[in-house]
Structure 1
Amino acid sequence: MVALVGIVVGTVPVLVGTTVYAVVVGVASARLLSDEIAQVRRDWARDRAQLADSNRTAAVARSREHIAFAEQMGQRVSLRDAQIATLRDAIVTAEIELAQARERVYAERARSAALEADADSAQSDLESARVDLLRANDALAASESAELQVRAELLAWEEAATEEARRQHDRKLA
């Protein structure tokens, strides 16, 4: 607007005055614009710094959660391993009992064979040996049943432990 007045008037002092005014106003505008741009850049930098700090805080929290989860899963795996070891010990004990029962069965069979050789003179002894043999067979059957049950439990525990390890592995990959 001032430049238009200077052009319309057309005198040198007015042109010089309007030019000086236009230059001063332009410099002031440039300075204000520069200050505004600098403030916007400072605001953006502060926002980025706050975002980076919140991301860092979240990453630290996730890291702590991951460590706690890994420790908890390690404890669970250790507990499962202890349970599996206990079941394996139970299987060994059942196998020992089974071997002892088989030895008793073999001993009873030998006794039964000896009694059969003397069947004419010891019919009553033979009946008692048959009862003992049935008891031994019952013990053997009970031991074999216990062994099968313990083996089934061990397989179930091993499958559960394997599945848990697979889930942990999948979670780690995710």
Structure 2
Amino acid sequence: MASSRRNPRSRRAVGATGLLISAVVVATAGIIVSTVPVLVAATVYAVVAGVVAARMLSNELADRRREWSLERAHIVDDNRRASVARSREHIEFANQMGSRIRLRDAQLAELRDVLVTYEIDIAKARERLSEERARVEALEADVDAARSDLESAQFDLARALDSLAESESAELDARAQLLAWEEAATQEERRQHDRSA
């Protein structure tokens, strides 16, 4: 836009300038001669030349304003296109991040389901453990009469303890995985937020 405003002067502007200069010369000549007919002729010439010059400059100014308006319209149109392209990129980015968040939420839900399953297994193992303990206590009350049953109950108790340990270990693993997934998802959201900002 600035380059077009530095164009050389148009023919109309040069012509208008020439007319005004010639009007000054004719008026000066009329003043020097100082006769009525020459002054009248010089005045008429100066007025006509001024009107024609003003009309030429008015047309030139209107053309320049039209050109500048067209340039501004092109700039506005380019800015509009760039804004539309940026809006599309933002929408695509938002859709992509939405699908990632949905995938992460699905993974978290799956890990929560696994955690609930392990908690149920732990509750069952604790029930079995309490049952086996009650059985052991009952068998210990009559040690002399049921020594073989006592050994069997002790074996079942050991199995229940092993099962409980496995279930608790599995629960700890599931909790660690869930925390790792949530931390990774939070960091991913922060990175995406920082990029979009």
TM-score by length of 1: 0.82
Could you tell me how far 1:30 is from its partner in structure 2? 0.6
The equivalent of 1:17 in structure 2 is 41
Deviation per residue, 1:33-64 (Å, 9 max, x gap): 10111011101211221122122212212221
Residue of structure 1 aligned with 2:172, choices 144, 148, 171: 148
Counterpart AA for 1:79: L
Unaligned stretches of 5+ residues in structure 2:
1-24
Could you tell me how far 1:65 is from its partner in structure 2? 1.7
Could you tell me how far 1:168 is from its partner in structure 2? 7.0
The equivalent of 1:108 in structure 2 is 132
Could you tell me how far 1:132 is from its partner in structure 2? 3.2
Could you tell me how far 1:121 is from its partner in structure 2? 4.6
Residue of structure 1 aligned with 2:80, choices 42, 56, 64: 56
Q: Which moved more, 1:133-142 or 1:36-45?
A: 133-142
Distance in 2 (CA, whole Å) between partners of 1:113 and 1:55 is 85
Give the RMSD, CA atoms, in angstroms: 2.7
Could you tell me how far 1:159 is from its partner in structure 2? 4.9
Unaligned stretches of 5+ residues in structure 1:
none
Could you tell me how far 1:68 is from its partner in structure 2? 1.3
Residue of structure 1 aligned with 2:68, choices 44, 57, 64: 44
- The reply to whether residue 139 of structure 1 matches residue 146 of structure 2 is no
Deviation per residue, 1:62-107 (Å, 9 max, x gap): 2212221221121112112111110111011101211221122123
Q: Secondary structure in 2 aligned to 1:119?
A: coil
- The reply to whether residue 78 of structure 1 matches residue 102 of structure 2 is yes
Runs of 4+ in 1 over 3 A off after TM superposition: 121-129, 155-172
Number of residue pairs the alignment of both structures matches: 173
The equivalent of 1:120 in structure 2 is 144
Distance in 2 (CA, whole Å) between partners of 1:85 and 1:118 is 50
The equivalent of 2:18 in structure 1 is none
Counterpart AA for 1:60: V
Distance in 2 (CA, whole Å) between partners of 1:55 and 1:168 is 26
Distance in 2 (CA, whole Å) between partners of 1:138 and 1:33 is 102
| % identical equivalent positions | 66
Counterpart AA for 1:62: R
Distance in 2 (CA, whole Å) between partners of 1:71 and 1:120 is 74
Counterpart AA for 1:77: I
Distance in 2 (CA, whole Å) between partners of 1:167 and 1:38 is 53
